[in-house]
Amino acid sequence: MNGQAESEAPESGSGPATERPAAALVREVLAALPGSVVLLEPEYGPHGEVADFRLVAAAPGTVDIAGRGGPELLGRSLRGAYPGIEATDLWHGYLGALETGTAHEGELEYRERAAGIPHRSRYRVRAVRCQGGLVVSWERLDSGEREQRRLALMQSLGRMGWVDRDLVRGEVTWSDEVYSIFERDRSLGPMTLEELSAHAEDEDRPAVENAVRGLLKSGEPMDRAFRLRLPGQEVRHVRVVAEAETDVRGRPVRVHGLFQDLTAAKHTERQLLEQQEAALAQQGQLTAERALAARLQDTLLPLPQRKLDLPGLTVDVAYRPLQEGLGLGGDWYSAIELPDSSALLVVGDVAGHGLDAVATMALLRFTAKGMAITGTPLPDVLTNLNTLLLHTPERDGDTATMIMALYRPETSHLTWVRAGHPPPLLVRDGRARFLPSPRGILLGATATPHYEASTVELLPGDHLLLYTDGLVEQPGESIDEGLARLADTALVHADSPRFLDDVVRELVAPHNRRDDICALHISR
């Protein structure tokens, strides 16, 4: 409450018509007082008995049980403001003080029903007769208790407690939390600061002794963390912050201090450091793996930085492994010139991802290239690769699809075989069609496969696309829908100088990929 007490109180039905000079003086005195103080004037019934009191003046800081300030209380009757008060000892104390002139003092536990406050509050109340009325003051007691509970809760949550030491009388006082920090029986009483060093770890003991000596002898402030060895051999990290009060000669006479248990914080700090070290180690491992992956990529599947020029052909490559960090997947390609000046073109897809798929890919890629260089017919190459998969123990159960094609520039004929792979797409004269597929089951599926070859003549202006299923497959739709979408997209971009890039970008959303992608664009 910040305002001054009002100079005029509302008139009551039984009160005086004009204010007495003495009452005005009381108002002026109350206006200068701190705390909650009011002036009550009695109101009498028809037989001269006190029927009620009216609040006619209040100190500026007055606040009642309902949180009402002085101006709001002025003019109210006591029974109207606090229903049921006439049945309390306080009311009878007021009547006794008014009648006898003996001050009434006591404690009041009161439940405010009019304001609906759901808890009881305790007050210390004093009433003194003055100028025919009562000067009443009160002090709330339970608020201090709540502050003590809050302080105890803060100490418990912060794992800290306080210590006071009177150096003249030799008295030491600990808060409850300090006993918990030191796991000390309260019946033993508190330790002195000089005893701290006896419980400190050997490495910390000299620093603790010096800090305590400086505090007690010279009054130097102390702020020291040390390791404490508890009776159960547990090590606890404790911080001590203390300062001294000195006499006129500068000698310490009283010490106030704070103990804080930092064990949990130190444990968390250690965990964070270990996690940081683990993260750095993992980062180093990932860096090494990326370097290895780059070397593997360059060795197993070097990616072209430009279009490949083969005898009679231009070949553009798109390679997008699903695991970008590895840089390699189960899809692969080959586009090389053979000793007889023909061109070998291969696209393959190993089931699965990761290093196992990469290992199978490397086995098939290099074996197929080696057999093709020796002149092995393409159907026989597939048969031999199937046998290799079935009889390599570490590759047992692996399967793969692929297309191999051999282009002879002198005839412009491209002969190709397939092992369970999607058919090549040919874009010619404004039309896009898939080449009829020769017979051929995927590699690793059966011990008795049969592979056939098919031949197509490539004309100037043709676009031939070899690809893996990652380019056309999407969740929730059939492979036929994906193939139709590929044909339409290729036809739209047939005249683009960046034909393959445009097709891949339109068909594959980076956030929606489910598989590796490999594609060869072949043109005369």
217: tokens are 């002898």
First-residue to last-residue Cα distance in the chain: 96
Listed ranges 1-15, 26-40, 148-162, 225-239; the one with the highest mean pLDDT: 26-40
CB 363 within 8 A of CB 392: yes
pLDDT of residue 312 exceeding 70: yes
Host H or E run for residue 252: strand 252-261
Listed ranges 6-20, 185-199, 200-214, 459-473; the one with the highest mean pLDDT: 459-473
Flag the least confident range among 143-147, 277-281, 359-363, 485-489. 143-147
pLDDT in tens, 118-155: 456 778 899 999 988 999 998 877 655 555 555 666 66
Q: What is the pLDDT of residue 405?
A: 97
pLDDT in tens, 370-427: 999 999 999 999 999 999 999 888 767 789 999 999 999 999 999 999 999 999 999 9
CATH class of 21-140: alpha beta
CATH class of 307-523: alpha beta
Closest-CA residue to 416 (of 454, 376, 463, 448):
454
pLDDT of residue 201 exceeding 70: yes
Cα–Cα distance list, 461 to 305, 431, 495 (Å): 23, 12, 10
Neighbouring CB atoms inside 10 A of 435's CB total 17
Residue type, 203: E
Q: What is the pLDDT of residue 328?
A: 64
Query: Residue range 69-75: average pLDDT?
Result: 88
Query: Residue range 249-268: average pLDDT?
Result: 86
Spell out the domain ranges in the chain.
Answer: 21-140, 154-261, 267-300, 307-523
Nearest-angstrom CA–CA distance, 473 and 513 = 9
pLDDT in tens, 26-45: 888 888 888 899 999 999 99
Q: How many CA atoms lie within 13 A of 157 on its CB side?
A: 6
Closest-CA residue to 310 (of 337, 333, 340):
337
Domain 154-261 has CATH 3.30.450.20: yes
400: tokens are 């793969």
Whole-prediction pTM: 0.49
* Residues paired with 413 in a beta bridge: 408, 457
Closest-CA residue to 320 (of 310, 305, 331):
331
* Residues paired with 407 in a beta bridge: 343, 414
Q: What is the pLDDT of residue 114?
A: 40
Q: How many CA atoms lie within 13 A of 380 on its CB side?
A: 7
Residue type, 502: D
Torsion, CA 428, CA 430, CA 432, CA 437, rounded to 10: -30
Fold agreement (154-261, 307-523): no
